[in-house]
Amino acid sequence: MTEHGLAKAARVNDHSWRFLSVLATSVLATLAGLAGLTASAQIAQPKAPAGQPATPLAVERASAGDSLDDPRPLATDLSPALTNAAIRKAAQKVADWQLARAEPLFNQQWTYAALYDGLLAASETTGNPRYHDAVVKMAEHFDWELLDARFPHADDMALGRSYMDLYLETHEPVRVADTKAILDRLVVRPDDPDKLLWWWCDALFMAPPVLARMSAATGDRRYLDYMDREWWQTSASLYDPAEHLYFRDSRYLTQKEKNGQKIFWSRGNGWVMGAFAKVLEVMPKDYSSREKYITQYKEMADKIAAIQGRDGLWRSGLLDPDAYDLPEVSGTAFFTYSLAWGINHGILDRAKFEPVVERAWAGMLAHIYADGRLGSIQPIDGQPGKFKPSASYVYGVGGFLLAASELDALAQNAPPTTRPRITGISHVGYFVSDLPRAIAFWHDFLGFDESYDLRKDSSEDVHIAFIKISDHQHVELFNEAPTHPPNMMSHVCFTVDDIEQMRAYLRSRGFNLKPGNGNKTRAGDYAFEIKDPEGTLVEFVQSLPTGMEAQAAGKFIPAARISTGIYHVGFLVGDSEKSMGFYRDVLGFKEIWRGSSTPNELSWINMQVPDGSDYVEFMLYSKLPPTFGSRNHISLVVPDTQKAIAVLESRPAYKAYGKQLEMHVGTNGKRQVNLYDPDGTRVELMEPKTVDGKAVASSTAPLPTQR
């Protein structure tokens, strides 16, 4: 060994023992619980030369994270909305928790190198310099040096990414001198024909980004050319051109999952995807093989998007998700980081991949605990495995913070989200206490057919009966007790022409909505629900040609039906200002009329859908009434109220109905008659035009005073 090498080895010894002394107490306390853990990826790697220390496996594990037997409460204060404020809040919560726990254990291992990348990104994302300053303090403590006991092992070069990023801030030579010296030795090292340099796919995240950054910083293409040669040797050995995924190492080329699929490790492929982002962001646009990287990156991105779980996350084994109980957050984090980076840099199509990263982000937030712990991270390993929900390790947190950084940029660069068209009332739902009687009211008395129904889980009992009003409108009768008695109204639903655009639009307006994933309702359409300011459940639906409603087009429309369409839906509103803020300012509804039953107080506000003629009627109140049935109502349009009454009175079911039908002219100047279903919910029949053909002026009465 040269004199320089001996001196460096002495320094490494000194740093290693300083590190070990800090960890001694925590390691002794955790060794017993570590004995049963799966063997680390490091076991298969070359041993350190005689006389040169390598960090013991147990120390590496103990410093990297832990798994609690008794998970703490999950966070309830985070929003999955892709807004800068929401993303930064989540990033800061996780970064604060991790920094408090990890800073006393900072070391030069690959595990922490990923965390340092994330902390630097977190400072840029949140504007809080303390994460950045903690990494600088760490680098100064270790004299800006890498581990060098296992040269040319890629893991020991991973810390160079942060050193290089910090060097580019100040261009102080000390920050990069040791890294450059090691890379200078690396690029002149001849390949070993019997052993691939980067024989495990994780290595592509550890060393190549350091080489690419050194090339960009110095202008010396030797580093990039060396990286390029070694990358494609690893790719030729481990990349599966059929599956568009990397095997972790050659041991898995012939092994299979329980379902017979090939074994592809989530975090291993996450490392590779992260490497693409780190390398391509500094690779010159005219570099000869750049397009080759982009082609493989896009192939992997397409595959990863295609196998995303319904919860937005990926399992430890990518092609046999059912074999793994929990989603794996570290692989998910690096996938999210890389895909968001690709969108931000114009390599990946935003329309295709933004929903993927939105779902992934929302899924990861569901694994953040109240104190900021990020869980469901697989411990150190080299293959798919199982772990506890609370498992939290620094490299996974690093990936999460990198993902937050790119998502924050994505949110800043987001094009304005426009509201899709809201074309009308699709349906309204009501709870009923006696489904046969309710169906008899709608069918035998009003003349509508039941077009289809949905059964209760594991039962032949009907859960929801669908009463068809027209090909595009229906009433849903819920065979269950009301959720908020005495309110028998379940929800109101509006038709939109793009469900995912509606979801994205509402998120852009600050609503806490999880991204959609193309799931259909049991009726076969795309839909989601939110609550308006009064707590009324509002659903949006995009009808599909394969849905039950579309399949029933032209059917179940008897000549006996008393009406051809829903005119409006009315429901109680106590705070008209908040409701106007939602329906008018957010959804784009237009106020078309105000009415009063007395000159002293306003009674109704009619709000029309922005892209159709249907409307909702705010039933204003100063004091919540004891019963809701006469206020929460549905209005069906009829051309002639008097004729409609005559038709109903001629039907055999009228005798069972047992109430007198009285026509009257409403305050709005239109003839109407009120009917009531067996639970007292009002069904109003109304003519579309006023009696004299003249519009009735809106009331100027004041809003009700809340009591």
- The answer to whether residue 618 scores a pLDDT higher than 80 is yes
- At residue 199, the pLDDT reads 98
pLDDT for 163-189, tens place per residue? 999 999 999 999 999 999 999 999 999
Band (510; pLDDT cuts 50, 70, 90) = confident
Cβ neighbors of 639 (< 8 A, separation 6 or more) are 687, 688
CA distances from 659 to 263, 619, 625, 638, 675 (A): 70, 24, 23, 20, 8
The three state secondary structure string of 349-413 is CHHHHHHHHHHHHHHHHCCEECCCCECCCCCCCCCCCCCCCCCEEHHHHHHHHHHHHHHHHHHHC
Q: Is 673 helix (H, G, I), strand (E, B) or coil?
A: strand
Q: What is 26-57 written as a DSSP string?
A: HHHHHHHHHTTSPPPGGGGSPPPPTT-----H
Q: What is the pTM of this model?
A: 0.67
Domains of the chain: 3-412 (1.50.10.10), 422-686 (3.10.180.10)
Catalytic positions: 202
> 425, 404, 588: which is closest to 502 by C-alpha?
588
CB 677 within 8 A of CB 683: yes
Alpha-carbon span 293 to 239, nearest angstrom: 12
For strands 671-676 and 663-665, give the pairing.
antiparallel
Of the candidates 648, 669, 666, the one whose C-alpha atom is nearest the C-alpha of residue 657 is 648
pLDDT of residue 16 exceeding 60: no
Mean pLDDT of the chain: 90
Place 519 in a pLDDT band, splitting at 50, 70 and 90.
low
pLDDT of residue 706: 62
Distance CA 641, CA 653 (A): 18
Return the pLDDT at 515.
Answer: 62
pLDDT at 564 over 80: yes
pLDDT of residue 707: 53
Q: Is it the case that residue 382 has pLDDT exceeding 90?
A: yes
Q: What is the model's pLDDT at position 46?
A: 32
Please state whether beta strands 422-431 and 473-478 pair in parallel, antiparallel, or not at all (unpaired): parallel
> What Å distances lie between residue 443 and 72, 107, 450, 489, 531, CA to CA?
53, 74, 7, 19, 31
Q: Which DSSP state fits 256? A: B
What values do phi and psi take at 94, rounded to 5? -70, -45
Tokens of 49: 């030369």
pLDDT digits (tens, 9 = 90+) for 434-467: 999 999 999 999 999 999 999 998 889 999 999 9
pLDDT of residue 45: 32
Residue 34 has pLDDT above 50, yes or no: no
Residue 691 CA, chain-centre distance (Å), reads 52
**What is the rounded CA–CA span in Å between residue 611 and residue 250?**
59
Chain centroid to CA 267: 19
DSSP H or E segment with residue 450:
strand 450-455
Return the closest-CA partner of residue 335 out of 250, 261, 276. 276
Q: Is it the case that residue 6 has pLDDT exceeding 50?
A: no
CA–CA gap between residue 656 and residue 644 (Å, rounded): 18
Nearest-CA neighbor of 528 among 509, 500, 547? 500
Q: What pLDDT sits at residue 27? A: 38
Phi, psi of 31 (to 5 degrees): -60, -40
Q: What is the pLDDT of residues 297-346, one digit of tens each?
A: 999 999 999 999 999 999 999 999 999 999 999 999 999 999 999 999 99
Instruction: Give the total residue count for the chain.
Output: 707
Using a 10 angstrom Cβ sphere, with 0-12 exposed, 13-18 middle and 19 or more buried, the burial of residue 14 is exposed
Q: Is the pLDDT of residue 703 over 90?
A: yes
According to the model, what pLDDT value does residue 3 have?
32
